[in-house]
A and B are shown apart, each in its own frame.
Chain A
Amino acid sequence: MRNSRRSEKIAFFFLFLATLLIVVPVGLIIAIIIQKGLPAINWQFLSDMPRSGMRAGGILPAIVGTIYLVGGAILFALPIGLLAAIYLSEYSRDNLLTRMIKLAIVNLAGVPSVVYGLFGLALFVVFCKFGASILSGSLTLGIMILPLIITSSREALESVPDSFREVSLSLGASKWQTIRHIVLPNAVPGILTGTILGLGRAAGETAPILFTVAAFYLPQLPKSLFDQAMALPYHLYVISTQVPNVDEKIRYGTALVLLFLVLFMNLVAIIIRYHFRKKKKW
């Protein structure tokens, strides 16, 4: 009796400690970035070109570049990833080959991003002759987040109870009708969770865009898909390590903008997800 109460306390302590260990650093990071970066944020910073060798002016091209890249990556990866996930979870037979494919996809999510960068350079920039461009960068980022989107979509689809499928089929609905009207609507929240994770990852990575799109200093907005572009994470890297004498608040301000951009994009996805969860009737 006394023993079980003590183990209860010990368990609670460690669980609480672990949670604290996660929450505190995250809180600190956000607090420091806000504290140091907020003074830099003003309309000019958000809407102007970088000036005097990126030591003054704004970061507009980097913001626009990141939005284009992330948007392009999602536009490419979400449809393909979702279709592949539907095939893998609903149509493919459960045998050794499909199990190996699923395992391979899960493992692809763990491949270092710089490897994707090299792959993008070889395939899109050189082989497809897209050059260093928004197109190459978006596709590279898209390929990088594909495993994430496929795996989370597949899990979302598989979490829809089989009984719903059986009922739908027993009413004479075809397999595709069942997927389209029963399985997919109930998997949307899970699919969006994967998309949110993918968004965050695509927005934050530096290595995949390094060889495929990122411009060191390009004080103009991209005009086409085949233009190079600046991007926030790479810009942050540049002003932190490559350009001397950049004011600290500009660096933190850039980080803050990146943080809020990701947060904002996530918020949109979360609102859509909430909308779908509310419609969920079980």
Chain B
Amino acid sequence: MQLNRDTAIAIVSLLICGALLVSTFQMPEPMFNQMPATLWPRMIIVPLALLSLVLLAKAQMAGSDESTPIRSFSDWFSYYKNPIICFALFFLFLVSMPVLGMLIGGLLYVFITLNVLGGWSPQMLLRHGLVAVFFVVGMWTIFTQLLGVFLPEGILLRVY
């Protein structure tokens, strides 16, 4: 068996389909002759599994994918470094929301993301700081003061 990108996708997709199909058998029986809760998901899972098999077959017939170079983990990480860091920062932004709130958390998130993507030189720090303050505080003010939305305030800064 040739292991290329589409083969991996097809196998993962088949595993997901299998797990979900098994899960449908644990759902309650339908009542009053209505449509069972399992019918629609099964109508999706079965063709998805069939298409995954087609993808698997195509991937095997195509052989090794020469257009996609095989990368080591470090190569892969450096290739996707920016998106991975952005997602990690966004994750931290959400995790810290109950403590920092939307305003402080947002300021930190935007400021750090700007520096990670744009550079850490003193001039950049100043520019990124100004951008973060202007856009985050500006939008936070519009939402809280103008639109009356109660954004998470966190523990550090009580605004309401």
Tell me, yes or no, whether A binds B: no
Instruction: Point out residues on B near A: beta carbons under 8 Å.
Output: none
